[in-house]
Structure 1
Amino acid sequence: MKMKTNINELFHEAKCNDTYVKVCAPMVRYSKVQFRTLVKNFGVDLCFTPMILADSFCQNEKARSNEFMTTMNDSPLIVQFAANNVDDFLDASKLIYTYADGVDLNCGCPQRWAMKDGYGCALLSQPELIHDLLRTVKNNFPSNFSVSVKIRILQELKKTITMCQQLEKCGIDFITVHGRTPTQKSGDEINIDSLKEVCEIVRIPVIANGGVKTLDDADKLHKKVNCSGVMVANGILSNPALFSGTNKTPLSCIRLWMDIKNESKDKITFQCYHHHLVFMLEKILSKKQKQEFNILSTFESVDSFLKTNVLKCYNFDISHKMKCKIDDFITCYFDDKITIKHSSKCRGCSKSVCYCICDKYNPNSSNGNYFSSFVLNNDGIDYMDSNMFDESI
């Protein structure tokens, strides 16, 4: 059996120790199991998967294999879904129940494609639907399986407070509040006053999100708003050891990332390995070295570059001791009753039999290609906290 964590106990323990839960945000393409393992070795208490489209996850085998991978030690873990109907959210949650400690509903993605399809921030204008989604899932699982939601603050503070109180009544375990409105950019200041008032009024744990680049930033945010947890996206992407107190990625972190890649064998893509290092090395390499590193195209060339230019003073005979290991990958088995039920639905109209021109949306006709290209072309690094790559449509 996979290791399990009671998320409520995680918050309780942090409160007893007069501290907060340190959280790695759901970052599209970057919150994979390898990166989750890395950051847990440097002070992270709780990790999220990337945001996963619940309908695609239920319908398509390739979507499931591409978007979700886990190990025996991959806990605490929250799987975040984007969903706009109860059927998809509930069934997707049932599929991953065995392999995770909870599920989270994304109600804060501001990108145009998500809004158009009724996901993310589009749900903020439908509080009754959010309530139905969360309450239904919460009522279908044991109390130790966490159900939560991530939102953005609204233009009017009163509406934000009312919404949070309504969400609390769903019986959910915690709420994450991003301190910017749906129309704000990632560089804009977060609304400290709104976050503080939410934390004062809401009785369940509140994770504050936005604008954190260092451990000092996280500590100050916790102190200002009295939140139960602090979630970080871009800052931890650039420095996975952020919560350990370092101002830039330490060499031990880079070395451990190499070890995790080696342990992962064929379960990590070159793109994932290389892209993470691009962010980690931002404050370490010179401009010329960055240009050279960015065009490398093989695992071997990247490792050679690191050993020659970055880790030349590092003792490779002494491997970094992993607190959280990447070994023991789990082969996930998903309930056929659920997947077969959803596999006949049309991606475009959600009907079991499609009578419209929706071929490009049909997972059966595309054999997963639609899902892969959709993610590749339309996802930013972090729906909730970053516009580093503007790939919205």
Structure 2
Amino acid sequence: MSNIIPNMRDLKPRREEDKPINIIKKCQMENRPVLIAGPMVRYSKLPFRQLLRNYNVDIVYSPMILAREFVRNKQARISDFTTNNDDRSLIVQLGVNNVTDLLRCVEMIHPYVDGIGLNCGCPIKEQVREGIGAALMNNKELVSQMVFAVKEKWGDKICIETKIRVHDDINETIEFVKMVEDAGVDFITVHGRTKNTRSSQPVNLDKIKKIKEIARVPIIANGDCFTIDDVSKIQNFTNCDGVMAVRGILNNPALFAGYEKCPWGAIEKFWDYSTSYGLQFKLIQHHLSCMMEGLIKRKLHIELNECSDLISLLEWFDNNFELKRPGDKGFGLGVSVPIRENRSNLANL
């Protein structure tokens, strides 16, 4: 298997306690919702996942991986998926529209992850045209066939989830949920918007609540989780087994630890993880831009986004802030932004 996915030879076997369904059960016994960082295209890569594990996240998703490309293309496997022994509990989310590609991809990747997620919610037009993502919400029979095929081959050895959106008619969503439950799905994540609902419109918690009321498997609520107070509000209203944050955790990786905004220590840790593990400059810049949103004034934020390479970005941080490195006293512990004196007039505090 190490020849199928390069650079995985030193990984330890996955553990039963890291299987997502077992974590959900553990959280149920502790009378608390499971806290989940959802999949983000391009942005849920290993350095960011590693950062999140410092801040009370129970389960983290990979970015969506296209199953067909992963199976056929060695370069896709190298670029799309990396992990390490600390990257637990990890669900790999797959974009797939047929049983054959799904089984082949799961065969390759399942020894290196704790769960498999089927993306039935991505509304991006290119994905929908390919019959994946939100397109699957109109094909519950196919989704059920894919879930059943995985369970028939591996049984409880593999934890499988479906991430769905709601329909305009909630009864359609209920039928979808019942069918994938019958196929053997372990749990379901429900995003409370339809595929055509803008993210600027509030998530429909009433529909998520109705799904939870009829479901036989754990239900995770997704949508509009930006603070730890939102976690309580969503969980109390829907009675779901867990809450997933996506956009909120991109801006504030410490959301589940109760921080109102991204703490400075998280930025220092992300610099360390992203440069140690390797991450494309544009992704590093985007992550830092999101995390710094609301922490500094607009002029300084524009300067961050105008940096053209990694060296200039690091120099910009060093010129404007006290950016600690591993080994420095207090590394990764700061909360407020340590603006250098010559730039203090630009702090947004």
Q: TM-score, normalised by structure 2?
A: 0.87
**Contact 1:90–1:137 (CA<8 Å) still a contact in 2?**
yes
- CA displacement 1:369-392 (0-9 Å, x = unmatched): xxxxxxxxxxxxxxxxxxxxxxxx
Does residue 175 (structure 1) correspond to residue 188 (structure 2)? The answer is yes
Of residues 138, 144, 166, the one that matches 1:153 is 166
C-alpha distance in structure 1 between counterparts of 2:207 and 2:260, whole Å: 28
The equivalent of 1:73 in structure 2 is: 86
Does residue 40 (structure 1) correspond to residue 58 (structure 2)? The answer is no
The equivalent of 2:322 in structure 1 is: 311
Q: Which amino acid aligns with 2:130?
A: D
Q: Which amino acid aligns with 1:260?
A: Y
Q: How much has 1:3 moved relative to structure 2?
A: 4.4
**Contact 1:222–1:229 (CA<8 Å) still a contact in 2?**
yes
Of residues 76, 81, 104, the one that matches 2:117 is 104
The equivalent of 1:390 in structure 2 is: none
Q: Which moved more, 1:141-150 or 1:209-218?
A: 141-150
Does residue 299 (structure 1) correspond to residue 310 (structure 2)? The answer is yes
Q: How much has 1:141 moved relative to structure 2?
A: 1.6
Q: Which moved more, 1:82-91 or 1:121-130?
A: 121-130
Q: How much has 1:142 moved relative to structure 2?
A: 4.4
The equivalent of 1:202 in structure 2 is: 215
**Contact 1:2–1:71 (CA<8 Å) still a contact in 2?**
no
The equivalent of 1:283 in structure 2 is: 294
**Contact 2:14–2:113 (CA<8 Å) still a contact in 1?**
no
C-alpha distance in structure 2 between counterparts of 1:3 and 1:270, whole Å: 31
Q: Which amino acid aligns with 2:286?
A: H
**Contact 2:67–2:96 (CA<8 Å) still a contact in 1?**
yes
Q: How much has 1:69 moved relative to structure 2?
A: 0.7
Name structure 1 gaps, 5 residues minimum: 322-393
Q: How much has 1:253 moved relative to structure 2?
A: 0.6
Of residues 307, 322, 332, the one that matches 1:320 is 332
C-alpha distance in structure 1 between counterparts of 2:135 and 2:285, whole Å: 34
- CA displacement 1:259-280 (0-9 Å, x = unmatched): 213432xx32222221100100
* Matched residue count: 319
Of residues 206, 230, 233, the one that matches 1:220 is 233
The equivalent of 1:250 in structure 2 is: 263
**Contact 2:136–2:143 (CA<8 Å) still a contact in 1?**
yes
Q: How much has 1:313 moved relative to structure 2?
A: 9.2
Q: Which amino acid aligns with 1:310?
A: F
Q: How much has 1:88 moved relative to structure 2?
A: 0.4
C-alpha distance in structure 2 between counterparts of 1:251 and 1:3, whole Å: 32
- CA displacement 1:334-354 (0-9 Å, x = unmatched): xxxxxxxxxxxxxxxxxxxxx
**What RMSD over aligned residues (CA atoms) do the two structures have, in Å?**
1.7
Q: How much has 1:164 moved relative to structure 2?
A: 0.7
C-alpha distance in structure 2 between counterparts of 1:50 and 1:237, whole Å: 13
C-alpha distance in structure 1 between counterparts of 2:118 and 2:21, whole Å: 17
Q: TM-score, normalised by structure 1?
A: 0.78
